[in-house]
Amino acid sequence: MKVEVSSNFKKYAKKTVFFIFVFALTYLFLLALAVSLTLGFTFAGIWIFMAKPMFYTAVLCLGLFASGLSILFFLVKFIFASTKIDIGHLTEITQKDEPQLFALIHEVVNEVKTSFPKKVFLSYEVNASVFYNSNFWSMFLPIRKNLQIGVGLINAVTHQELKAILAHEFGHFSQRSMKVGSYVYHVNQIIYNMLYKNESLDRMFEKWGNVTGYATIFIGISVFIIQKIQSILKKLYEYININYMALSREMEFHADEIAANVAGSQALADSLLRLSLANHAMEGVLNFYEQKINVNVRSENIYLEHHYAMNFLAKKNNYLIENDLPQIQIATLKKYNKSKLNLENQWATHPSEEDRVQALLNLNIVKSDIINTPAINLLSNNAAIALHISNKLFSSIQYTENPTVFPIEMFKTSYSEIVNKYTFDSIFNNFYDHNNPSVEGPPLKFENNSVSKFEELFSDQWRDEIYTLIALKNDKATIEAIHTNMLEVKTFDYDGVRYLASESDQILRRIDNEISDIENKIKKNNCLVYHYFFQLAKEQETEVLFEQLYYDFASYQKSFDSKQKLYQELIENTRFIFETTPFAEIEAKFSDLKRREIELKCELKKLLEQPGITKDLNEENLNSLNRYLSNDLMYFNFDQYQDENLEVLFNAITNYNHLLEENHFFKKNEFLQIMLTLQENNLKKTNNL
């Protein structure tokens, strides 16, 4: 198979090769300089010692030689370095173990025209990758790659989609045009090794310093010269890396095109659109069992539960289910992404999911021999290996006693209850996911004849306005970063027009106006919603209760904002702990923090008094909170942090935010349930007429 590379691929490949050439010349110059320094230092040392043989000149001679040698070692140590991938969490499989899966791999390898993987491993994740242990000589010697496939991925795709994913992975290594990416990767690793992996050099300096105090002088000479070399390499690393990232993005598009030629555009596009949901479902299942560790409960087969969670979430979001898997359209991505800002992330190794899917759909490569059965059926003996992988995952957890298995039917019930518990009713059409049913000040008054229809108040238009507002605020934050030079770009596109970074201030003013307009629209709709439900409450003779609950929530919302501010201040006020800070300043900052802790403890006590709020906190968290509330902990003593007490503090801050958010959700949902009841009663009345 021969797939032509794009003009962008060629452009970035040429630029990258040029910078590799520049790096090679620079490196050879630095190496020649290091050899010259070593020889020069050696001859100078010998000359001084020969001129006046004595202890001090002997030390000087050896010191100069060692100094030159350490600089030379710094420049060649990457040759002896190697990168080994940890495979402890992986399970190797053979053709005998999984004949159908291996048959598919052979089919893809033959179509892509690449070599068969050295080994095939399974992992628990929703992921697939090709990897190998690399060293300097990997640039020149052919290395057979290993294939890793996540059972979570196999569980989330069809046979055809898995074929497309494998073709994408092998596509990275199948054609000569892709070799440049491998060279750039290794050059990057070489520079990274010289810049950041200097443990062996540090150990050498430490041993050298332990021999004699005189070594400090020569270590200083070596470090000074090495730092100058590193400053040159850092600039090269930046240029090579930016071009490598751009080339990596083009390589992804190219590998996608290879996959489309093997399995069709739609197969890879469908899998890309689903994988985010599949990952979310897997995280949800793992989080579910994380909460069960303290009661010694585990899953028997996490993949049965993963499949259920995927389809349950799909139904909650009104996604189609085909071939027993969720089908997500590209329009769904666009529904939630209303950003007008187009800013190419020069440090990203992958294009956006939306860009990849759109490129695949534009290729429109259609295959006739499609197999849409679930890929999990490829695994032998009813996917017995999945049970083994699941057992391996849970065997790494430390339980206080032998865990019991949670039956799948009980999982379905419990998981559904948890998801429903933290989801607002679908009747509101996501309008309240990022919006509150209250406004600052009293709601606007409207005439009775201006009452809107329920369908108008919660239409797709208002859901889209909410997501547009979120996008505008995110765009504003990014452009502010450009305006203050925190994000270095020359140009950016906004709403289809290209702007210079120096023009960011005018776009910020425009965005501020748009945010203000949409916020006013949403506020007006919130007032119309209030008016609509107030009229229903009057008709159902519950207007006094409705108004009381409305103003109770509005008051709570106002206090919630100030309580969230406390959390943000605590995070900011503890940032110094993770930075290098003088002792006197540490003590002063902890003294200031103590004053904020009074408020934190007061708010935590109020939250813990709320009925039912501690139900989801495990025993460990509750004990930690009780310890925090009942003690005046010391976090710094003389010259060192008290790590155990700091852990209690950070646990308290984290749980404060968690409990605050949870309490806010329940208060909000409580009021929405009143609105829901009013609407249901109204529908019953209408249907009975």
Report CA Rg, the chain.
Answer: 31
The predicted-structure confidence for 101-116, as pLDDT tens digits, reads as follows 999 999 999 999 888 9
| Of residues 169, 122, 174, the one with CA closest to residue 148 | 122
pLDDT at 446 over 60: no
pLDDT at 55 over 80: no
Written as one letter, the residue type at 543 is E
* pLDDT band (50, 70, 90) for residue 135: low
At residue 116, the pLDDT reads 92
Instruction: With beta carbons less than 8 A apart as the criterion, state whether 104 and 163 touch.
Output: yes
Q: 180 or 271: whose pLDDT is higher?
A: 271
Q: pTM for this one?
A: 0.82
Mean pLDDT over the full length of the chain: 87
The predicted-structure confidence for 294-306, as pLDDT tens digits, reads as follows 889 999 899 999 9
How many Cα neighbours within 13 Å face the side chain of 580?
A: 0
What average pLDDT does this structure show over 119-132? 91
In terms of C-beta density within 10 A (0-12 exposed, 13-18 middle, 19 or more buried), how is residue 144 classed? exposed
At residue 436, the pLDDT reads 93
At residue 207, the pLDDT reads 61
Q: 295 or 188: whose pLDDT is higher?
A: 295
* pLDDT band (50, 70, 90) for residue 580: confident
Secondary structure element (H or E) that encloses residue 531, with its range: helix 504-539
Report the 10 Å Cβ neighbour count for 283.
12
Instruction: With beta carbons less than 8 A apart as the criterion, state whether 310 and 282 touch.
Output: no
* pLDDT band (50, 70, 90) for residue 37: confident
How far, in Å, are 68, 323, 453, 686 from residue 689 at the CA level? 97, 43, 18, 5
At residue 261, the pLDDT reads 95
Characterize 64-79 residue by residue with b for buried, 16 or more Cβ atoms within 10 angstroms of its Cβ, and e for exposed: bbbbbbbbbbbbebbe
Instruction: With beta carbons less than 8 A apart as the criterion, state whether 602 and 610 touch.
Output: no
At residue 200, the pLDDT reads 59
* pLDDT band (50, 70, 90) for residue 449: low
If you write DSSP's letter for every residue of 569-582 in order, what string do you get? HHHHHTGGGGS---
What average pLDDT does this structure show over 564-590? 91
What average pLDDT does this structure show over 288-299? 92
At residue 516, the pLDDT reads 96
| Helix, coil or strand: residue 474 | helix
At residue 127, the pLDDT reads 93
What average pLDDT does this structure show over 375-379? 95
pLDDT at 337 over 90: no
Q: 680 or 333: whose pLDDT is higher?
A: 680
What average pLDDT does this structure show over 144-168? 95
At residue 8, the pLDDT reads 81
pLDDT at 94 over 90: yes
| Helix, coil or strand: residue 320 | strand
How far, in Å, are 304, 383, 406 from residue 298 at the CA level? 13, 19, 6
pLDDT at 314 over 70: yes
At residue 1, the pLDDT reads 64
Q: 27 or 149: whose pLDDT is higher?
A: 149
Q: 619 or 429: whose pLDDT is higher?
A: 429
Instruction: With beta carbons less than 8 A apart as the criterion, state whether 259 and 162 touch.
Output: no
Residue with tokens 């509150």: 436
At residue 526, the pLDDT reads 93
